[in-house]
Amino acid sequence: MSFDSLIPCPAVAERFARLKERPVTLDVRALSKSFYSGGTIHHALDRISFCVHRREFTCVLGPSGCGKSTLIRTIAGLESPTSGEILLDGHAVQGPGPDRGMVFQGYTLFPWLTVKKNVMFGLRMSGQAASIAESEAREWIALVGLSKFENSYPHQLSGGMKQRVAIARALANRPRILLMDEPFGALDAQTRSQMQAYLLQIWKNLDVTILFITHDLDEAVYLSDRILVLGTNPSRVVEWIENPVPRPRDRAQIDSEAFKATRSRLENLIHPPQEEVIEQIPIPRMTTIGDDVE
Amino acid sequence: MQMPSAGVSAHLKNLLSPFAPLRPTTCGILLWCSFLIPILLWSAVSYLPFVWHPLVKITDASKVAYFKPDMLVEKKIFVSENEKLQKSGIPPAEGIPANPVFLPAPHEVVQSLYRSFTTPPRRNGEPWLHESLWHSIRIIFWGFFWSSLFGVPLGILCGTFPFFARLSEPVVDFIRYMPAPVFGALAVAIMGIYDGPKIAIIFIGTFFQQVLVVANTTRKLDPSLVEAAQTLGAGRLQILFNVVLPGIAVDLYNDMRILLGWAWTYLIVAEYVGASSGITYFINQQAKYRIYDNVFAAILIIGFIGFATDRILEALGRNLFPWQKISAGDVGQKLTIFVPKKVLA
């Protein structure tokens, strides 16, 4: 395995130096979350600290059960931290709010509202007049390419389309940061890669910072500026990787040295589960046909 | 409809595959069958002399002192009396197999369905059938109206805010187990003998169930929808009115359909309370006069009203909630009475 391409070349180093000069959007300080279950304390998050700069695309990666979801839900304000602080543009946040938009894996569109009304929801909640909210919603729907479907109900849309509506709905509120909790996890491989390319397009054209949770290594490398790798038991920051793959991103880069090296480094950090267990399972021979398979 | 025979056998096989939706044609045929089968059984018992018929209707009394024409006697007695006559060399009494008076034949019930609306009441001041019916419907409506007016909001509050659930559900659960009829005497003492206590019984019978059913329905709302609304900046009241209410609307509507059915079961008790009235009173009067075909007619009318209301509400519901997915299984539930094409041709 070659780590050569991970020794920061001057261009990459310069890129991240510039990134770090930008103002800090999200500052997470010693965030801990623990809860009791069956008499023992379970640490879902253990003193996690990191900060995300303006317009940065950060991926949070970790094995299942490492508390990725708890982390993003705590930042969204859907769960309260046991200790620690979350600062957004320098102000401590408490409870959910429209400044932190969230896109869930399960779409969570309101089934009784049309696409347009779904996108209008946040604007209406903040007291916008219906006509203004409607024209703004139209723009966001156009941005995600669903103008033809603005009067459809969610159940009439495919998974990828639903998730595009959910992204438009979150962006319509003009959040400071967009929190995405494995948003493409339920999509098929082809739709997923379309959505990834598409998300990068949106991100490029808008002033929005993205915190993106995934367990897919390729997805993390393809999308991110930096990757926050979480470990499990206790759940803390294992590594904070600066992704050397140059932008703009392209599917072809998957075969590039930088991509492969970053990917294998992530693989080593995450330690996929051992496969010995599977080899121990006795499988009886149930065929009499000759050894046509290996 | 042309179909290859292989298709037919495959189709027959599919009729009983678990959880698989049926074709609309099949649903329509089954809708008719579900009414036809009981009617056929009833007709068999009524019109085939060798099925059941435990009595004999006397046509010729011969010399039996207490036999009279048109009298119903038990088959055993009829046979033993005839044996006695035979020994004395007298021709036997004659009769035809008959059912007890409480089981009228379908055609008799159909006749009295018509007659019960056209015959004036036996005594002056007694209500006509349609007046009794209208009275009952009014009682149900107001009982259900008042119950829903308080029960639905309280149920939604309990389902949404655990605070209200802890505060009110224990006592609601406690009262729920008291049978509504036990409040009858109390209701009369407080509200007099006319419609007040009757509406109160329907209210008590419905309200406490309603709170718990609605609270449970509310709790079944997908919590991630509430979370999504929160991250979009919705406040507490906004969530209640813009997420919870529309989110449970479909299930709530179906709950109400079921609860309305329960309200009908309390009608029987309600109409015994205070001054007897309504359809229950009509049924009891007719039973006292031993006009059982009227009893059946009235019971059937209740069934028709219930079935029709439910079907109308269901059809309404489909138009009220356009975002609902209509699955294949629902197609046969349509209000339109289905007539198979073959029958028309």
- Residue A271 pairs with which residues in a beta bridge? none
Distance CA B117, CA A120 (A): 56
> How much is the average pLDDT of A205-231?
92
Among candidates B288, B285, B299, B291, which has minimal Cα distance to B127?
Answer: B285
Q: Using 50, 70 and 90 to split pLDDT, how confident is the model at B339?
A: very low
pLDDT reading at A3 higher than 90: no
Q: Give me the residue from A100, A108, A173 closest to B225, CB to CB.
A: A108
Q: Which positions in chain A touch B252 (Cβ < 8 Å)?
A: none
Please spell the DSSP secondary structure of A124-153, one letter per residue: HHTT--HHHHHHHHHHHHHHTT-GGGTT--
Q: pTM (2 decimals)?
A: 0.80
Distance CA B33, CA B40 (A): 10
The whole-number pLDDT of residue A281 equals 76
Residues of A with CB under 8 A from a CB of B: 76-78, 95-98, 100-102, 104, 106, 108, 110-113, 121-122, 124-126, 153-155, 169-170, 173, 179
DSSP three-state, residue B48: coil
Question: What percent of chain B is predicted at pLDDT more than 70?
Answer: 92
Q: Using 50, 70 and 90 to split pLDDT, how confident is the model at B224?
A: very high
Neighbours of A216 (CB within 10 A): 16
Distance CA B90, CA B82 (A): 9
A96/B235 touch (CB, cutoff 8 Å), yes or no: no
Q: Using 50, 70 and 90 to split pLDDT, how confident is the model at B116?
A: confident
Distance CA A119, CA A173 (A): 9
Burial (Cβ within 10 Å: 0-12, 13-18, ≥19) of residue A174: middle
> How much is the average pLDDT of B241-258?
93
The residue type of B44 is A
Q: Which positions in chain B touch A179 (Cβ < 8 Å)?
A: 231
Tokens of B194: 């006319």
In the sheet with B55-60, reading across from the earlier edge strand, the strands are B72-74, B55-60, B94-98
CA–chain centroid gap for A147, Å, is: 25
All structural domains of chain A, each given as residue ranges with its CATH number in brackets, are 4-99+177-272 (3.40.50.300), 108-174 (no CATH)
State pLDDT tens for residues A153-203. Answer: 999 999 999 999 999 999 999 999 999 999 998 899 999 999 999 999 999
| ipTM of this predicted structure | 0.87
State pLDDT tens for residues A110-156. Answer: 999 999 999 999 999 999 999 999 999 999 999 999 999 999 999 99
- Residue A42 pairs with which residues in a beta bridge? A35
Tokens of A172: 């319509």
Q: Does B224 touch chain A (CB under 8 A)?
A: yes
Written in H, E and C, the secondary structure of B255-302 is HHHHHHHHHHHHHHHHCCCCCCCHHHHHHHHHHHCCCHHHHHHHHHHH
CB A20 within 8 A of CB A49: no
CB B202 within 8 A of CB B181: no
- For chain B, the average pLDDT equals 84
Greatest Cα pair distance, chain A, in angstroms, is: 74
Neighbours of A202 (CB within 10 A): 17
> How much is the average pLDDT of A22-42?
88
Q: Give me the residue from B231, B234, B323 closest to A153, CB to CB.
A: B323
* Angle (CA) A96 A97 A98, round 5°: 140
> How much is the average pLDDT of B129-141?
88
Tokens of B319: 């138009």
The residue type of B272 is Y
Tell me how long chain A is. Answer: 294
B77 or B124: whose pLDDT is higher? B77
pLDDT reading at B344 higher than 60: no
pLDDT reading at B177 higher than 80: yes
Tokens of A33: 């979350």
The residue type of A119 is V
Among candidates A85, A82, A77, A81, which has minimal Cα distance to A30?
Answer: A85
CB A103 within 8 A of CB A272: no
State pLDDT tens for residues B276-310. Answer: 778 888 888 888 888 888 888 888 888 888 889 98
Distance CA B334, CA B327 (A): 12
The whole-number pLDDT of residue B275 equals 74
The whole-number pLDDT of residue A8 equals 61
Q: Which positions in chain B touch A153 (Cβ < 8 Å)?
A: 322-323
Minimum CA–CA partner of A120 in chain B? B232
The whole-number pLDDT of residue A272 equals 58
State pLDDT tens for residues B11-57. Answer: 777 788 888 888 888 888 998 999 999 999 999 999 998 888 888 88
- For chain A, the average pLDDT equals 87
State the DSSP H helix or E strand holding residue A257, giving kind and residue range, or none if neither: helix A257-270
Give how far B225 is from chain A: nearest CA, Å. Answer: 5
Distance CA A186, CA A215 (A): 12
Q: Using 50, 70 and 90 to split pLDDT, how confident is the model at B6?
A: low
The residue type of B171 is V
Q: Which positions in chain B touch A154 (Cβ < 8 Å)?
A: 323
> How much is the average pLDDT of B148-154?
96
B322/A153 touch (CB, cutoff 8 Å), yes or no: yes
Q: Using 50, 70 and 90 to split pLDDT, how confident is the model at B340?
A: very low
Q: Give me the residue from B233, B321, B325 closest to A173, CB to CB.
A: B233
Pairing mode of beta strands A57-61, A209-214: parallel
Distance CA A116, CA A133 (A): 10
B157 or B193: whose pLDDT is higher? B157
A170: CB partners within 8 A, 6+ apart: A101, A102, A103, A122, A178, B231, B232
